[in-house]
Structure 1
């Protein structure tokens, strides 16, 4: 029987693919990870199997960092040209392709029909911002200069990309509250899990013996994570008399984040999350550290998932973030128990080999029915990374400027109406 050869790429996030690769290797599966995107977080684990990969990484880094416009332009086109030999190399070598962030080898997904023609298995994994409608996500705060026509254009572009991916992908993994633009059934993100592992010992598990509570916040994007509101909550709690050692880690190597994680009592992940345990909260769980996570989806997650696959965290409405931090401070028993439950959950369900085993089931077509989610059933409207009020204002402005069709939800008329009612309530 021919051995399955798996390709992972082309962009890393929180060592997701590095850990998935480790899981495949533990199962004896040949797997190669290629991360082509320069990142200040210094994720490790990407392979460099040929000079094409080295040249493309060099070109991509210069496009991002080099101040010389001529070098930027040269490297941009060099990178695009290198897409073709890299794709041909991968096409010959691999049987399964697992892509992330809605990206494949060649612009406009010209490689996908070729992969389909050669009977390659194609899996796309979405991580939130790459599938969530722009009008309920980070675009609203990261690109404040965007005009309404730009928001409408970006929504149409993302819908078109997802539709094109769905045409050729064998499997799509996404999170129900970000699946508005999908038209076909997806595999639920939490059913597969987030692959992580840390080898813990007494020397690297820190237990705080002081009365001072150590809280860690490590936002990859402070605006999206609601960092200013978290700071405000910490200031208010200090004014109430709590002794708090609050640490922020921003834009530092991943090793720095882990070093601080070992020292803290608990973390505050973010305020507007549509998942109770994203990458940073998962890392905290592996260290036995509980997480406070804010998000509008906290009230609705039980409608989409059975309780046993919902990861343990203090998942609360954004308006309750200060009260939740306070609860974690004053209730030591609750805090320690939540940290223990979180660690037990990830060890049992989200180890690299466990997640890799689930991927093998996807590849082999042995998929439990409960893993599927029909995006026609979606009820969630508040998105992620932004406030409910800003979403309402944006949706209302889009409808008034471009009509209800500008939301790109014509295939889901009930959801389309829900958004309109939500915006004008």
Structure 2
């Protein structure tokens, strides 16, 4: 069984590496060079050629890949060709196909607000376009993967079978560096991929309020840095703030926990019970972020223990080798 993951994302790279370790031949392919310097097994480097040639290059790659691979694992709702016309051929050829939705590719404001999240915003407001894409995909793909129950309502009506498989992290790449219990001016790191969607303005406001009220804390917000550089900065931090609007946590939270850092993130009402009970994330929304940070900054002795809990959580539930075994089992079922 040979598996191909595409078309972009650090998770693809992590998953393929783990799949190979458990004996599954797997390769990751990016269409464009990663802005975060992720290193896939293959890259088409479409950024180097005129847009008029992109479909031709993708079609040529598709024709080669069909001859070589047995399973195709698509991410972010993208396939070989922009119009998804490749999917009908893959089905006729008897290839195994699964799509993994990551978040912004399926979130719709009309659905998000049904779950009592007053802070939620979405990256793509055109709901008709999102639904159209989901219909095209699900016409030929029976199996979809999401990371948690927050994403489930956006895709539930489209696919025959939906699998919840959590995000993966290669723990060996994240040596814990626990914060000091005596930190006098804790360093808070926030690394938004999209400042408005992630609630960066609320992070700035909360830290400014801390400073005005005499609490010593430093804030570092990361933009457009390589993943390697970002991880080095995370290691020096005392706590991590992830996203404050969406209502669930992402890869940034996992990396923070793997490094032994307390993580602050907003988990919406009704979702907490769907995660393992050991989840140690400090649940904060835009309205109470200041209060939560005040407790942490004012009591640095809590930070190491929270860091230890976070590391234990990702070891238990997000180890890439464990996730790879779940994927391998799914591939056998397709």
TM-score for the superposition, normalised by structure 2: 0.88
| Gapped regions of structure 2 (runs ≥ 5) | 113-118
Q: Distance in 1 between matches of 2:139 and 2:240?
A: 40
Alignment of 1:399-410 (within 5 A): none
The reply on whether 1:47 has 2:20 as its aligned counterpart is: no
Q: CA deviation at 1:254?
A: 1.1
Choose the corresponding residue for 1:101, options 53, 72, 76: 76
Match of 2:233 in 1: 260
Residue 142 of structure 2 is aligned to residue 162 of structure 1: no
Partner residue in 1 for 2:266: 294
Q: Which has the larger radius of gyration?
A: 1
Q: Does 1:125 align with 2:103?
A: no
Q: Is the 8 A contact 1:192 1:358 kept in 2?
A: no
Asked if the contact 1:206–1:263 (Cα under 8 Å) also holds between the matched residues in 2, the reply is: no
C-alpha distance in structure 2 between counterparts of 1:132 and 1:236, whole Å = 32
Asked whether the equivalents of residues 169 and 320 of structure 2 are also in contact (C-alpha less than 8 Å), the reply is yes
- 1:273 CA displacement: 2.6
TM-score of the superposed pair, with normalisation by structure 1: 0.70
| Equivalent runs, 1:313-392 vs 2, <5 Å | 313-365=281-333
Please give the residue correspondences for 1:12-411 in structure 2 after superposition, counting only pairs within 5 Å: 12=9, 15-44=10-39, 46-48=40-42, 53=43, 56-57=44-45, 60-62=46-48, 75-133=50-108, 154-174=126-146, 175-178=148-151, 179-183=153-157, 184=159, 187-189=162-164, 191-199=165-173, 205=177, 207-208=179-180, 210-275=183-248, 277-295=249-267, 297=268, 299-302=269-272, 305=274, 307-308=276-277, 311-365=279-333
Q: What is the CA-CA distance between 1:348 and the residue it aligns to?
A: 2.1
Q: How large is the RMSD of aligned CA atoms in angstroms? A: 2.5
Contact 2:244 2:265 in 1 (8 A): yes
SS of 1:187's equivalent in the other structure is strand
For the Cα contact (< 8 Å) 1:312–1:342, is it kept in 2? yes
Cα 1:270–1:83 change in 2 (3 A) is same
Distance in 1 separating the partners of 2:35 and 2:170:
20
Question: Take 2:60 and 2:253, find their aligned partners in 1: how far apart are those partners?
Answer: 38
Structure 1 residues 337 and 186: CA distance shift in structure 2, 3 A: farther
Q: Deviations over 1:5-29 (max 9, x none)?
A: 01011111xx211110111111011
What are the ranges of 5 or more consecutive residues in structure 1 without an aligned counterpart? 63-73, 144-150, 367-425
Q: Name the CA shift for 1:113/1:195 in 2 (closer, same or farther; >3 Å).
A: farther
How far the C-alpha of 1:333 sits from its partner, in A, is 4.4
1:139, distance to aligned residue in structure 2 (A): 11
Alignment coverage as a number of residue pairs: 324
Instruction: Report whether the alignment pairs 1:7 with 2:1.
Output: no
Instruction: Tell which deviates more after alignment, 160-169 or 227-236.
Output: 160-169
Give, in angstroms, the shift of residue 365 of structure 1.
Answer: 2.4
Partner of 2:115: none
Task: Go from structure 1 to structure 2 and tell me whether the alpha carbon gap of 1:113 and 1:139 turns closer, same or farther (over 3 Å shift).
Answer: farther
